[in-house]
Amino acid sequence: MQYETITYDLTDGLAVITLNRPDKMNALTRQMRAEIAFAMKEAGNQARAVVLTGAGRAFCSGQDLGDSADAANADLERTLRDEYTPMIQAITDCPVPTVAAVNGAAAGAGANLALAADVVIASESAYFLQAFTRIGLMPDAGGTWFMPRQIGMAKAMGAALFAEKIPARKAEAWGLIWEVVADADFEGHWKARAEYLAKGPTVAFHGVKRALRASQGATLEEQLATEAHLQGKCGNTRDFQEGVVSFLQKRQASFEGR
């Protein structure tokens, strides 16, 4: 696919997907949603880690209300089912680690686009905003699923009802995101984090993702069985052998992702 609303770069096992409508604060259009979904699937097949970030001063300001394909009288149920759901699921189903590098405003569906990633790293000036009720809607794009699990029902309910900005530092303190980095250090930091993942034990990372997500609806007995099954797969990898040898030799492991 030739991308028009995003850019896609694959270098040394790291795929970087950049929302590229800076003049519109990377607001989501029908085309952008399709391109993000396609790029995430492509990255899952090609890369060992994926970063989703934004060009310019925003990560993503949510739905582009001026998009002709999404007029005020649009069928929102259809739009969510046919366009947003595939985009969010392409992120959550990605077999390799995903990082949202939130460089600025993450509002509405843009906030939940970020929360769909495995790890969220934000610049200090960034913020998260469940803006939906400001225009008579409720959170979507997975927001009602992600938020209660990450910050609890009380904070999730307040964030959704009051539609107030959550500064990056507060989001970190609440447990909504992984970490906040000073603006001046932001790009170098998320790149280093992502490169670490791209050079890591890919099968083990996939096991981490599957096991942690499965735990949210599993009993202890079920989770122990899941751990045993996935750990068995990890134990059969070349990376596990390398990890043990490098530990005994007191050197840095060199993982191949297999």
In a domain, 258, yes or no: no
In a domain, 257, yes or no: no
Residue 222's CATH number: 1.10.12
Name the residue range of residue 226's domain: 202-248
In a domain, 72, yes or no: yes
pLDDT at 21: 97
pLDDT at 140 over 90: yes
Secondary structure class of 139 (helix, strand, coil):
coil
pLDDT at 74 over 90: no
pLDDT at 257: 87
Domain end call among 198, 213, 234: 198
* Cα 95 from Cα 196, distance rounded (Å): 16
Buried b (16+ CB within 10 A) or exposed e, 159-179: bbeebeebebeebbebebbbe
Query: Whole-prediction pTM value?
Result: 0.93
* Type of residue found at 76: L
Domain end call among 198, 225, 240: 198
Q: Does 188 lie in the same domain as 101?
A: yes
Residue 76's CATH number: 3.90.226.10
In a domain, 81, yes or no: yes
In a domain, 256, yes or no: no
Buried b (16+ CB within 10 A) or exposed e, 100-122: bbbbbbbbbbbbbbbbbbbbbbb
pLDDT digits (tens, 9 = 90+) for 43-73: 999 999 999 999 999 999 999 988 755 455 5
Q: Does 213 lie in the same domain as 190?
A: no
pLDDT at 65: 87
Number of domains composing the chain: 2
Cα dihedral 99, 101, 102, 107 sign = negative
Q: Does 229 lie in the same domain as 129?
A: no
pLDDT digits (tens, 9 = 90+) for 25-38: 999 999 999 999 99
Is residue 98 very low, low, confident or very high in pLDDT (cuts 50, 70, 90)? very high
pLDDT at 66: 83
Q: Answer for the pair 102, 177: CB distance below 8 angstroms, yes or no.
A: yes
**Does residue 82 or residue 67 have the better pLDDT?**
82
Q: Does 160 lie in the same domain as 207?
A: no
Percent of the chain with pLDDT over 70: 98
Is residue 175 very low, low, confident or very high in pLDDT (cuts 50, 70, 90)? very high
Q: Does 222 lie in the same domain as 126?
A: no
Domain end call among 179, 198, 217: 198
In a domain, 254, yes or no: no
Cα dihedral 210, 212, 213, 217 sign = positive
Cα dihedral 14, 19, 20, 23 sign = negative
Q: Does 225 lie in the same domain as 189?
A: no
* Cα 229 from Cα 132, distance rounded (Å): 41
pLDDT digits (tens, 9 = 90+) for 186-241: 999 999 999 999 999 999 999 999 999 999 899 999 999 999 999 999 999 999 99
pLDDT at 72: 59
* Type of residue found at 97: P
Q: Does 223 lie in the same domain as 133?
A: no
Q: Does 218 lie in the same domain as 91?
A: no
**Euclidean distance between the first and final Cα of the chain, in Å?**
28
In a domain, 91, yes or no: yes
